């Protein structure tokens, strides 16, 4: 019986082999050895759904470990190795995508475009770090963000920036968030992904100018710690808000602060609040008056911001390809004859009429007008609140990490001589 099976198998093998040979003879492989190499696409291939869920599970594990290391274990070393893992896994292995920072745009698009549905994994990447931050502070920044890890590991000689500069640059993330949401909501572009300075390094296939951008940020990060996180990251805005209300948060000292000041210069991100000066609280009436004036000015700031945003909508909306194309075809009709202009040729071959294109562009521009009011108003609110905070006095007796700005990296913990 076994022999019969063997013979059958050999016969079948020969039969298939001969069939393959005949096929090869009939249609030999075309010869196209031309040296042409297909450019690699900018976005990575989608992952299998099971792997995406695995990523969510790994994110949960990493966040749990980061929170454990930051709050319970108080281990800087643990956080450091966790960020190395994050850099390798979420950065280099997963090509930096999906990331929680970029997921803001997916959420915005799904809220404003009924034709777009966010995937559950993207939504989880957006929500989970926010929920963790609400409980444990910004442990996501400490151990689960590949962009943060990349910058954190390359800090060489951090310098302290003057407060006025920090406050001024600190407005940029709000502006970036406003624009990112506006652009995503209008279906214009995902600018967070497009100008992610490190994604090209993770994928090892960035265009030259993006390599320059990535290297510039890395070099800058050697002296200004985490420049992207502090002065650009739009997700950091949301994390900052959540962290301010966090139930638990990393502390410099495990017990009572002994005011030794050893930790005062330990934070490369200038995120340690010093004990308040008693003299500051003496002129209370003057402070209250200023607070009231600044608070009353906030609606004015919102209006000015909204008005400026609405006025800028014409210019900003040119970032939308449909709006730009419509304007281009109206102002430069000759561009239709430019065969090398792929966008114009793609539009012409689509068979879409000029009237339809203009109608679409008008709808998008109207969205930008409304969005301009909202985004501008939001920026007005941010500026108003930033000014207002200058006169808000909160009494502090100890050296404490700023709950909103602290990345829970744990550097300061090692400087504290107090043990449990």
Partner 1 sequence: MKNKGIVFFLIILAVVIVVVVALDYNASKPDQQPANPYAYNIDPFSRIDTVLIHYKESRNLAISFSEPTGISFRGDELFVVGDQKLQIIEPTGKLMNEVSFDQKPTCVYASTENIFVGFKKSVAILSRDGAKITEWNSFSDSTVITSIAEKSGIVFVADAGKRMIRKFALDGKSLGIIEGKSGNDQIHGFIIPSPYFDLAFNADGELWVVNPGKHSLENYTVEGALRTWWQASSIKVEGFSGCCNPAHFAFLPDGSFVTSEKGMVRIKTYKPSGEFSGVVAAPSKFAENSEAPDLAVDNQGNIYALDLNKKMLRLFVKK
Lookup: tokens for 351: 């068979």
For helices 234-244 and 100-112, the axis angle rounded to 10 degrees is: 90
Residue 338 beta carbon to partner 1: minimum distance, rounded to whole angstroms: 8
5, 22, 48, 256: residue in contact with partner 1 (rule CB under 8 A): 22
Contacting residue, 1, 2, 39, 353, with partner 1 by CB under 8 A: 39
Element (H, E) at 147: helix 146-152
Among 149, 213, 272, 383, binds partner 1 (CB under 8 A): 213
CA angle 61–103–140, rounded 5-degree value: 35
Residues near 133 by beta carbon (within 8 Å), at least 6 away in sequence: 139, 140, 239, 242, 243, 246
- According to CB under 8 A, which one of 324, 360, 381, 385 is a site residue for partner 1? 324
| Shortest Å distance, C-beta 36 to partner 1 | 5
The verdict on 30 binding partner 1 (CB under 8 A) reads yes
Distance CA(399)–CA(276), nearest Å, equals 9
The DSSP bridge partners found for residue 401 are 272
Q: Can the peptide bond before residue 98 be classed as cis, meaning omega within 30 degrees of 0?
A: yes
Q: Looking at beta carbons only, is 197 or 384 nearer to partner 1?
A: 197
Residue 155 contacts partner 1 per CB under 8 A = no
Q: Select from 23-31, 289-297, 383-391, 392-400 the region that touches partner 1 (CB under 8 A).
A: 23-31
User: CA geometry: angle at 252 spanning 248 and 255, to 5°?
Assistant: 80
Query: In terms of CB distance, is 178 or 408 closer to partner 1?
Result: 178
In the list 8, 23, 259, 283, the residue contacting partner 1 (rule: CB under 8 A) is: 23
Specify the residue for token string 């940020």.
Answer: 217
Query: Which parts of 340-359 interact with partner 1 (CB under 8 A)?
Result: 340-344
Q: How far apart are the first and last CA of the chain?
A: 77
Binding status of residue 162 toward partner 1 by CB under 8 A: no
Question: Applying CB under 8 A, does 26 fall inside the site for partner 1?
Answer: yes
Report in angstroms the alpha-carbon separations of 387 from 55, 168, 170, 302, 390: 41, 11, 12, 13, 5
Which three-class secondary structure state does DSSP give residue 22? helix
Number of residues counted as binding partner 1 (CB under 8 A)? 40
> Of 157 and 282, which CB lies nearer to partner 1 in the complex structure?
157
Contacts with partner 1 by CB under 8 A lie at 22-23, 26-28, 30-32, 34, 36, 38-39, 157, 159, 194-195, 197, 209-210, 212-213, 216-217, 219-220, 223-224, 318-319, 321, 324-325, 328, 332, 335, 340-344
């Amino acid at each position: 019986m076994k022999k019969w099976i063997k013979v059958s198998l050999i016969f079948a093998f020969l039969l298939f082999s001969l069939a393959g040979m005949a096929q090869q003879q009939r249609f030999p492989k075309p010869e196209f050895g031309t040296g042409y190499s297909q450019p690699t696409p900018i976005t990575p291939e989608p992952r299998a759904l099971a792997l995406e869920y695995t990523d969510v599970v790994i994110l949960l594990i990493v966040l749990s470990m980061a929170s454990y290391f930051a709050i319970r274990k108080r281990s800087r070393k643990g956080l450091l190795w966790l960020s190395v893992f994050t850099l390798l896994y979420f950065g280099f292995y997963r090509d930096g995508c999906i990331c929680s920072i970029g997921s803001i745009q997916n959420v915005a698009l799904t809220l404003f475009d009924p034709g777009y549905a966010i995937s559950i994994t993207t939504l989880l990447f957006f929500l989970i770090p926010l929920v963790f931050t609400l409980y444990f502070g910004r442990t996501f920044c400490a151990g689960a963000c590949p962009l943060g890890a990349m910058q954190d590991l390359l800090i060489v000689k951090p310098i302290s920036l003057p407060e006025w500069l920090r406050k001024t640059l600190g407005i940029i993330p709000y502006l970036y968030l406003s624009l990112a949401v506006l652009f995503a909501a209008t279906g214009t572009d995902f600018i967070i992904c497009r100008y992610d300075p490190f994604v090209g390094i993770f994928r090892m296939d960035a265009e030259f100018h993006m390599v320059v951008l990535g290297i510039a940020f890395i070099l800058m990060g050697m002296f200004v710690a985490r420049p992207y996180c502090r002065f650009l990251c739009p997700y950091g805005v949301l994390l900052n808000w959540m962290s301010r209300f966090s139930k638990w948060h990393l502390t410099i000292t495990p017990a009572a602060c002994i005011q030794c000041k050893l930790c005062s210069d330990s934070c490369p991100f200038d995120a340690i609040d010093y004990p308040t000066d008693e003299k500051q609280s003496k002129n209370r009436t003057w402070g209250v008056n200023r607070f009231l004036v600044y608070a009353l000015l906030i609606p004015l700031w919102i209006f000015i911001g909204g008005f400026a945003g609405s006025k800028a909508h014409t210019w900003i909306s040119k970032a939308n390809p449909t709006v730009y194309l419509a304007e281009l075809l109206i102002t430069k009709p000759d561009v239709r004859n430019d065969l090398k202009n792929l966008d114009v040729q793609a539009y012409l071959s689509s068979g879409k009429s000029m009237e339809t294109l203009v109608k679409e562009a008008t709808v998008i521009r109207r969205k930008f007008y409304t969005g301009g009011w909202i985004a501008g108003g939001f920026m007005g609110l941010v500026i108003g609140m930033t000014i207002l905070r200058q006169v808000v006095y909160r009494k502090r007796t100890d050296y404490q990490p700023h709950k909103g700005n602290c990345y829970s990296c744990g550097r300061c913990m090692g400087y504290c001589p107090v043990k449990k």
